[in-house]
Chains A and B, each alone.
Chain A
Amino acid sequence: MPKKTLPIITRLLKIIPAITIAGLILFPIDGYTTQLHSGSEGIITHQIGHFFFLFSMVTLIFTITSKGLNKQKGWRLIQYAAFFFILWNLCAITTHFFDNQIHAVTIENISLGKIKIIANNDSLMLAWFYYILKLDHLLCVPAMLFLYKGLSNLVEAQRHIVAEKDIS
């Protein structure tokens, strides 16, 4: 299944620019030599970056499985790292969505140890959800740890291979 999925994605990535060019030719719009950038452009770009990161991590998981690399512990741990990065991306995307895109949540620093979370419609649930989302390091640090452990395992496996080669 992943073997079939990947070529489709690759083809889509190739087709999208072609469709865009074709669309611009078929349905022309007013063009300006220099585009004006609105204030929300930065967050949208950042969100696209998160989506792209998430998508690449999904691809990595499938690729590792499709190549049969998940039989090795090191690669399996890298898959776990990718999974945690997916979760972290989802978390970050949601956080940015609430505070930067729809401005559903606002934070005010009251003191060094206190913050005030103001949610739309004074939703307590949203305020708590946002508070938990702000602890995103609980996802990305394990992801990095899995990556490190995975690489450590690969180093060990490689050492065995080298040792076996030396013996033979």
Chain B
Amino acid sequence: MILSFIPILTVDVLGSMAMVVIALLSLYKVRLLRTMDPDNTIFHYLMWISTGFMIFSISRSFGHILRQFLILTSNAESWHAISAYTGSINTVSFMLIGLITLFFNHSWNINEKILSSKKKLENTHIELIDLNQTLEQKVIERTERLTSSEHKCRRIFEQSLDTIIVTDSKFEVMEINPAGIELTGFTRDEMMVKKMTLGSFFASPTEWMRISQKIALKEYILNEEAEFLRPNNASLLALITSGIDYGAFGCAKTYHFIIKNVNDKRQMERQMAQADKLAALGELSAGVAHEINNPLGIILGYTQLLLKEEPEHRDDLKIIEKHVKNCQVVVSDLLAFSRKSSISKSTININTVIKDVAAFLSNHTDFRNVGIHLNLLPEVPLNITGNEQEMRQVIMNFVINACHAVNKKGSINISTKTAREQILIIIEDDGKGIEMENLSKIFDPFFTTKPVGRGTGLGLSVGYGIVKQHGGDIAVKSKPDSGTVFTIILPQVMPAQN
């Protein structure tokens, strides 16, 4: 059958050319897609398949156009020689497109997984950023709170009026606050260089031993009272509370001490107790003296009457009279101690009184081997308001007491000072001192350490009573074998008041 070859030729040649053009355009479009999203696996796949189609189109179109050309130019044999090659390339391009297409499913799945992973990664990234921001915020907040807390703790440590000491396990001082430096009297550098322990502040090593053992046993102590000794040998009473800190983050254990200075408080308490006791004794003494004074007066009156009327019993009556008068002296002293006796007061110069007493006593036989040294404040007048006779008695009692303390052989220093509108009369001896347990009793009426018959125990009591009656006070400082210092404190009359 003979047919027109034109339709076949036209469709073949034009179709082949169109195939090449469209394949190239497709490749261009895919390149655009890839440019817009270079990470998209599907677009990569489309790129590959479009490349495959381009190879297919070019190889096929080239083959077809060449075939038509060679056949029409009567070179069919040449075509037969080439056709095997173009056909093979064409076959390979089919295979290539087929393979790429079959991998589409895998490519899709890979893309899905990548996208899913990307999404998860993005979400995780957002969560991480959020967490990081939250963490940063929390770190900032915690740091602020920590700084604030540290600042507060530091302020408490620095500003505390109580001593705060941190020691290591050997009780060596690691940290001490300014109050502690003031209390102990040592500098911080001194403590660190000398590696001072808490025990070195104690007056008594035995007491430190007791307290340190208690800490080791119980791991805490509460309000333990101890005596501290400062570098200037001044002692003070302290109340110690301690606890153990085993430390955090691998820190070594430490001990924390809070130490209160209760020296003034304890002294005040003791003074108040003493004052209360003496006031009670004064009341008692006044009552007794008053009740005894009247019968003594009657006894003395009748005795003196009988002395006139019964001369044969004169010696016996004289003995009665003498003892009644002694009793009256005791009663009078008791009344002086209890401050119930009425006295007349005037302005007196205390320096004059001291000089008179010193001059009077230096002639006494008991003071033959005792040196009385006066160190009186030259500023005159050191005036007080009071009864000169009584003040004379007070000074005399204390100096006689000092004479007995030095056992009639030693020195007595009497000095005067002024401080805050007060006159201080300091009577100091280098005698045997007063035992600690007797210190609180020395002003008690009838308390004496002297042998029986050598003292009534009323000298210091009377002195105390008179000083109190004059609005003053007495302080005593004594240590066994180190002498005693009595300080009589009296309100000074200023020149204007005078």
Interface set of A (CB-CB < 8 Å, partner B): 6, 42, 45-46, 49-50, 52-53, 55-57, 59-60, 63, 67, 109-110, 112-119, 122, 124, 127-128, 131, 134-135, 137-138, 140-141, 144-145, 147-148, 151-152, 154-155, 158-159, 162
Contacts and interface: CB of A to CB of B under 8 A. Distances in A.
Given A127-B1, A151-B50, A158 B108 contact: no
Closest 6 CB pairs of A and B: A137-B15, A56-B98, A56-B101, A49-B94, A151-B29, A49-B91
Contacts of A144: 18-19, 22-23, 26, 53, 57
B1 A119 contact: yes
B88 A116 contact: no
A119 B84 CA distance: 24
B11 A138 contact: yes
Given A60-B101, A144-B18, A155-B29, A135 B3 contact: no
B33 interface: yes
Contacts of A135: 7-8, 11
A134 B8 contact: yes
Given A49-B94, A114-B4, A144-B19, A63 B108 contact: yes
Interface of B: 1-8, 11-12, 14-16, 18-19, 22-23, 25-26, 29-30, 32-33, 36-37, 46, 50, 53, 57, 71-72, 84, 87-88, 90-92, 94-95, 97-102, 104-105, 108
A59 B101 contact: yes
B25 A137 contact: no
B113 to A, nearest CB: 14
A159 B33 CA distance: 9
B1 A117 contact: yes
Contacts of B6: 113
Contact of A42 (B7, B11, B50, B87): B87
Nearest to A53: B94
A115 B29 contact: no
Contacts of A147: 22, 26, 50, 53
A34 B169 CA distance: 94
A59 B18 contact: no
A6 to B, nearest CB: 6
A46 B87 contact: yes
A148 B25 contact: yes
Contacts of B88: 42
Given A42-B84, A50-B94, A141-B15, A115 B8 contact: yes
Interface centre among B32, B50, B97, B105 (most CB of A within 10 A): B105
B101 A115 contact: no
Chain B interface, DSSP helix/strand/loop, else mixed: helix
Nearest to A128: B1
A95 B6 CA distance: 19
A42 B80 CA distance: 13
A41 to B, nearest CB: 11
B79 to A, nearest CB: 11
B101 A158 contact: no
B47 to A, nearest CB: 10
Contacts of A112: 5, 72
13 contacts: A49-B92, A56-B102, A110-B2, A112-B5, A114-B5, A116-B3, A117-B3, A135-B7, A135-B11, A137-B15, A138-B11, A141-B18, A148-B22
Contact of A116 (B2, B14, B98): B2
A115 B5 contact: yes
Interface centre among B36, B46, B101 (most CB of A within 10 A): B101
B84 A148 contact: no
A49 B90 CA distance: 9
Nearest to B15: A137
B91 A113 contact: no
A155 B33 contact: yes
Nearest to B46: A151
A159 B11 CA distance: 36
Nearest to A122: B1
Given A114-B4, A148-B29, 17 more contacts: A49-B91, A56-B97, A56-B100, A57-B101, A115-B2, A115-B3, A116-B1, A131-B3, A137-B14, A140-B15, A141-B15, A141-B19, A141-B22, A147-B22, A148-B25, A155-B29, A158-B37
Contacts of B18: 137, 141, 144
A59 B99 CA distance: 11
Interface centre among A6, A52, A67, A148 (most CB of B within 10 A): A148
B114 to A, nearest CB: 15
